[in-house]
Amino acid sequence: MLPTVLITGASRGLGAALLRTFAEAGHPVVGVARHPAALHAVVDDLRRRGLAAHAVQGDVANPDTTAALIGEAVAKAGPIGVLINNASILGQTPLPLLLDMEDRSMNAVFQANTLGPWRLMKAVAGPMVLRGHGLIVNISSDAAVHHYPTWGGYGASKAALDHLTATLAAELDGTGVRLLAVDPGEMHTQMHRDAVPDADPDSLADPADVAVRLVRAMSAGASGRISLPALGVAS
Amino acid sequence: MKAADTYDRPRGRERMLVVDPDCGCWAVTDVQRLADTLEAGDLVVVNDAATLPASLRGTTADGTPVELRIMGPPDANRWPLAVLDGQDWRTPTQDRHRPPILRPGQTLRLSGGLEAEIQSVQSPYQVLATIRGGDVWAAVFRTGRPVQYAYMRQDVPLGAVQTAFATRPWAAEMPSAARPLTWSTLLPLRRRGVGLARLTHAAGLSSVDGGAVDATLPLPERSDIPAETVRAIRATRAGGGRVLAVGTTVTRALEGRVAAAGDLVPGVGTTDLILEAGSTLQVVDGLLSNLHEPGESHFSLFTAFAEEPLLRSANALADRHDLRAHEFGDATLILAGALARIPRDACLAA
């Protein structure tokens, strides 16, 4: 029985592509997103094709609903073998310089992009240690490594996520739980349109292709931090 | 003994009452001293059940409000439910009114747009029902609340009643013996060669009516014991190590499996075993639990590990030092030889 994969931000973009890729490979999958209509569109399509896909509506940024989100996911699909923290927000757009960024926006960005993933890691890693295996994948960005003006809030939240990923990996060394941070590269998604409205679509990767490459890297045992563009796979 | 009445007492810093049947002695120490009592080759077995938000609100067809409590995991959409009156946890259980009489075929409207249809009635307080009307698990997790009792000061959030490794939502109430076990405690134990194994046991409700039904608790409960855990237990005993059960649920699951199947057979099964003074323990050597007092079914299980006078004396010491009972409280360790391994200056014996 292939491990159950839980993917946040699964209603569109990379998250939806990952949901489809894993489901088509035979994994039970759970998609988490805030907006039920879009999420159910993706999940119901997979279910109509006879695939084991489940929807859990939830907002990873909400600290009070983590236990219910995970509980519902496990009730529907069994213990989580792979967690992919993909859900992210940009914060206020147009992206602001740090000196202009609103307090509320910075808080929201860290809740969604850093603390939400940390809470989900807390909820699934314990069961993984008890079973002796598991994989946690945190979607990062090159904005975590380079310091692009106006990407300060988002970049900082991803840099913090990278740090949590690496520290948790050190803490769980020897337990069989693997951690992976991934820079997926720039993709043709709604999030990218919101951030860079005048980007040339031809320069952006198809999230479906990125999903396939990411799954391949995960299956090959990747750990630590990887950058898919740097792996130089033909697009 | 007073109950711990808040849910956010820091985990891992609880106090621990140690009862040692070897020396017939007892002391109060800190739960961190658990590590002193275990050595490489021993095995800690935990219950990895997550706690359900088992308390649901509903109404009968004539509008009478009820509280329903999910008693255990459903079996093919057949849900075991306890039925209580329309008040809530703030009313002490023994002061609650009789719930409305329910009959097979009757339907209850539940919050979240669901409907429960009664399939069978086990007692005025227990029914089996099918639930329909949409995404049942979503509605349970959105509208359900953890079961709690009148000694608490506030509503308890679902996250506060999960152990550090809670996985499948099988438990009607928290398997709270494991609340003091943080990963700061468990990971070093593993590294030292103390084994850590799991099973999933559907921990049931601790109270339903404050009276006759409670006297019949615990009810038969389901356990899933992995083959890996059976192998670990066999290897531990063969190597002369000891098996420490974290919780009465783990004890019941393991001893109940041997009692029912003649051997520790892995897989899913139900146990109706009641452990008490004189019961033979065939698998478990020691027990980590919360604090329990005479009259509770948990205390009766304690008497299978140590004699009642010893337990009573130990509880009196715990009470003098204001250790707290119930799920958010302090711990009890019953393990032969435990006190010989804990430094004297870490113990209060009077």
- Tens digits of per-residue pLDDT, B271-298? 999 999 999 999 999 999 999 999 998 9
Question: CB contacts < 8 Å between A and B, how many?
Answer: 67
B contacts of A79 (beta carbons < 8 Å): 167-168
HSE-CB for B61 with a 13 A CA cutoff: 8
* Burial of B159 from C-beta contacts in 10 A (0-12 / 13-18 / 19+): buried
Task: Kindly state whether A64 is in contact with chain B, defined as any CB-CB distance less than 8 angstroms.
Answer: yes
Strands annotated E in A25-147 = 29-33, 53-57, 80-85, 134-139
Nearest by CB to A68, from B141, B164, B168: name it. Answer: B141
A64, A66, A72, best to mutate vs chain B, most B CBs in 10 Å: A72
CA distance A15 to chain B (A): 21
Task: Kindly state whether B191 is in contact with chain A, defined as any CB-CB distance less than 8 angstroms.
Answer: yes
Task: Kindly state whether A173 is in contact with chain B, defined as any CB-CB distance less than 8 angstroms.
Answer: no
Query: Model's pTM, two decimal places?
Result: 0.97
> A235 pLDDT exceeds 90?
no
Strands annotated E in chain B = 15-20, 25-30, 43-47, 50-51, 55-59, 65-70, 78-85, 107-110, 114-123, 126-132, 169-171, 195-201, 221-225, 243-246, 267-271, 286-290, 331-334
Q: What is the pLDDT of residues B46-86, one digit of tens each?
A: 999 999 999 999 999 999 999 999 999 999 999 999 999 99
Q: What is the pLDDT of residues A181-210, one digit of tens each?
A: 999 999 999 999 999 999 999 999 999 999
CA distance A115 to chain B (A): 15
Task: Kindly state whether A62 is in contact with chain B, defined as any CB-CB distance less than 8 angstroms.
Answer: no
Nearest to B144 by CA among A118, A145, A65: A65
What sign does the CA torsion over B151, B157, B163, B169 have?
A: positive
Least confident of A78-87, A128-137, B122-131, B207-216: B207-216
**In chain B, how many H helices and how many E strands?**
7, 17
Complex ipTM value: 0.96
